[in-house]
Amino acid sequence: MNADEIARIFLQLSERQRTLLWHVAVEGYKFTEIAKSEGKSESAVRKAYNRAIAHARKIAKSGGYISQRGIGSKVR
């Protein structure tokens, strides 16, 4: 998968999902930091992140960008 394909997938996510994935994957924020800044629980942020990853995976599969192997992984 190249940068253009990733960008196309990224743009199909909601603003909230894009922001959350960006903070975690690119900027390296911890779930606890995001939760504190948003006034939410760490669990809520972690769940939202996992849903964003799942949605990105669904978009990638339906767009033919990835095989069955998938992208991303669930964070515990």
Residue 2's pLDDT is 82
Reported as a single tens digit per residue, the pLDDT across 16-68 is 999 999 999 999 999 999 999 999 999 999 999 999 999 999 999 888 776 65
pTM above 0.85, yes or no: no
- For the chain, which domains are there? 3-62 (1.10.10.10)
Distance CA 29, CA 6 (A): 20
Residue 69's pLDDT is 54
Terminal Cα-to-Cα distance of the chain (whole angstroms): 25
